[in-house]
Structures are given as structure tokens and as C-alpha cells.
Structure 1
Amino acid sequence: MNTKKKFIIISFVTLLIIAAFMLNQSEHESEFKSVLILEEPIQLPDFSLIDHEKKPVSKDTFKGQWDLIFFGFTNCPDICPTTIHTLNLIKQKIKKSDFEKTLRIALVSVDPERDTPLVLSQYINYFGDQNIAITGDIEEMTKLTKALGIFFEKVFDDYDNYTVNHSAAVLLINPAAEFSALFSAPHILEDFIDDLKKIMDDYL
């Protein structure tokens, strides 16, 4: 199957997923402004990756705190650094508001070939502390992206250089290591924060 057909199929599936989210979202229209809530949270799959400090990462890594996951890569020129910067602002504002819940930002690289732990360490630390950046074997990475409906694909130019097309949404993972909500771009800071606090407050 060629790249164009793959893209069309993935786009169609993505639209179906968003439509399902929107159907459920209609029940929350008056309550939430910027987030799509999953009616049934999706448990993270079994996978084995490493973080920017070369520590093992599995679904257990995501238990016990809230995580905002973004799938991107360090050579991304605009969307990735802008999104991670925004997420760090959200994290800092929540922290300053004396909100009791623990929140972490997790960057999962869709370019593990270039995004080594050293590269990721230099990158993620620029955006604040106590965050995590993840890389590793592409097959293990695919286990995670497929389970969460995340698309990514290498795209080469005429000079054999490449970039990576990827989903730009931010996923919220609850303390039980479940994908529970999706924030689509563009991210309006105050709406994002208000919705995030409501979700975390309502969590059992």
C-alpha cells in the first residue's frame, strides 16, 4: 500500500475516533471547553522503552501521577517546541495555584533513530525539570502509538533527508496508566488549565 493510501486510511480512522469522542463530548459541553473525554479510558499496553536518563520505561512508569503525553521529536522546527513550552507553562501555573495533584510532561520521540537519551536529556531539560523524554526500539514504540491511535511516518526529501509527520494532540494519562482524555491544538492556556483541573478533581 502506498503512502498516499495509508494517509487517507489513517485520516479516515482518525476522523471516526474524533467523531466518537465528539459524541461523548456533547454530554460535557457546558462543563469542558478544550478537551475530548474518553467514555472508557484505554489502558496503556505492555511496552519496553527507555527515558532520557536511560532508565527503563513501561506502562508502570505512568502509574501514580497524571501525565500529559506529547508525541514529537527534537528536530521538529515549530509544533513540538511550542507545544512542550505550552505544557510546561500549564504545569507551572497549576503548581503555583497550590493544586494538590502531581502532573508530569512526557515527550515520546517518534524519531528514536536520532533522539538518543543524550539528545533528549539536553532537549527536555530546557523546558523545565521533573519531566520525562522517552525513546527506544521502534517496534516497542509502535506498540504504544498503535494502542493510543497515534500516527507517525518518516518523510524523505530529494536529498535523502527526512522529517517525521506525526499526530499533534496531547494525551492525558490518569494515575492508573489509562489514556483518559485528549487535548487538540490550538491550546488556549486558561481553558486547558480549567479543564485539566476539573478532570483531575473528578477522578476517583
Structure 2
Amino acid sequence: MFNRTTAIVLVAALAAAAGLWASRQYFGSVRHSPWPQTKAVRLFEPPRTLPAFSLRQSDGTQLIPGELKGHWTLVFLGFTHCPDVCPTTLAELSVAQKQWDSIPESTRPRVLFVSVDPERDPPDRIGEYAHGFHKDTLAATADIPALETFTKSLGMVFGKVPAPDGAPADQYTMDHSASMAVLDPQGRMAGLIRPPLDPNAIAADLAALTEAKTP
């Protein structure tokens, strides 16, 4: 179990490393990208195939790589007891989601909320939480080892921060990456969105990418 200092240092260090890797991927290949120019989304070229993973969706079914194909998908890490960043981010994303209503459901961009706090966030809880922001938001979680494998494949991290001295043990919090992974219609890691978020730019970027032909 991480203590607070270890968790913060780990998140900061790995997030910085992931950012450096993402920047090299993005800036080193932007001239050769087959995709439309984007404002909020930083695209990688080439996209990276994700290793196998299995998450539990809010309806109890398994979410596997094949189910993410056919749509551009934004993956956001969080937890339902988050006091600020998570609800703010999901509210901002809902603004973008409303602008995709005219896109056919078969290709409409999707948002996937992944809880990194399975101890307090069973599938039905995360579904209720995510749908409170937008009905189309997908929600999933898994046990810690599976979450660590999945988030690592996205270049993201999370860590448990124990409750303060004297507080109940279940009053812990979670540190996690605030950036969002962008998966292409083949389910590959194709880019990142970093805060601060611009919902209108996100909406425009994903709509343009959806209209473009997948290479």
C-alpha cells in the first residue's frame, strides 16, 4: 500500500514520463499524421495497439478491446468519491457529448469512465455516477492488478492515499492521472487530451475525427 508521499511522487514521476513520451510521439510525427488538424487532442503517429485487458462494465458485462472498436473513445480515470476533478471533468465532457447527438449512434464518439477505486466503487455505483452526467457515458472498473495493467498501457497511473491520522480508514482518497487517453476506432492508443479542458474544442475534434476515414 502506498503512503501519501510515495503515491504523490509516483504519480508525478510517471505522469511526467508519460508526458515526455507523448510529446515525442506527437511532435516527432505530426507532419505525417493522416488525421485532420486538432486543437484539444494531441494525436500520436502511428497509433499504438493496446495489450489485452478486461474491465467490468456497470451492467456487469466484460469490457474487452473489441468492444471499443468502431468509435473514437475518450478514457478518463477517476473515482466516485472524488471531490472536485472527477465531477468537473465529467461535467465538461457532457458538454461535448451533447454536441455529438446528431452523429449516428453507430459511430458517435464515446466517453469511458474507469474507476480506479474498486474497493468503494462496485459496477452499479459507477454506472449511476457516470450516467448522472450523461446517459451515454460508459463506466467500468476492475481489480487493482487489472487496473494497473490497463492504465499502464495508456501511460497513466493511480495510487491510493491513506486517510489522515485519526480519520476512518475508508476516508482515503485516490491520486490519478488527469489526462484522458484517446482511442481510435480500431481501439488503439491514438492520442491524449490534457487539462485544462475545452469542451467545445473536444467536441469539434472528435466530430472531425469521426468524419475522417480511418487509415
The two structures have a TM-score, normalised by structure 2, of 0.83
Aligned to 1:75: 81
Q: Does 1:171 align with 2:177?
A: no
Contact 2:58–2:126 (Cα < 8 Å) also in 1: yes
1:89 aligns with 2:99: no
Q: Which deviations, in whole Å up to 9, do the C-alpha atoms of 1:55-109 show, x marking residues without a partner? A: 1111122122221111111011111111112212211112247798322211011
Which position in structure 1 is the counterpart of 2:201? 191
RMSD: 2.5
Report the 3-state secondary structure (helix = DSSP H, G, I; strand = E; otherwise coil) of the residue aligned with 1:124. helix
Equivalent residue for 1:128? Answer: 134
Cα distance in 1 for residues equivalent to 2:30 and 2:54:
36
Taking structure 1 as reference, are residues 100 and 190 closer, same or farther at Cα in structure 2, changes over 3 Å only?
farther
CA deviations on 1:120-163 (whole Å, 9 max, x unpaired) are: 12212212223211012111111111111111011112234311
1:1-204 equivalence runs, <5 A = 3=6, 6-7=10-11, 9-24=13-28, 27=31, 31-96=37-102, 101-156=107-162, 157-158=164-165, 159=167, 160=169, 161-204=171-214
Q: Which runs of 5+ in 1 are unaligned?
A: none
State the aligned residue count.
Answer: 203
Query: Which segment drifts farther, 143-152 or 39-48?
Result: 39-48
Separation of aligned partners in 2, 1:52 and 1:69: 15
- Would the alpha carbon gap of residues 72 and 203 (structure 1) be closer, same or farther in structure 2, given more than 3 Å must change? farther
- Structure 1 range deviating more: 154-163 or 139-148: 154-163
Change (3 A) 1:63 1:98: closer
* C-alpha distance in structure 2 between counterparts of 1:72 and 1:173, whole Å: 17
TM-score using structure 1 length:
0.87
C-alpha distance in structure 1 between counterparts of 2:26 and 2:72, whole Å: 23
Q: Residues of 2 paired with 1:147 and 1:93: CA distance? A: 29
Structure 2: which amino acid aligns with 1:155?
V
Greater strand fraction, Structure 1 or Structure 2: 1
Change (3 A) 1:8 1:34: closer
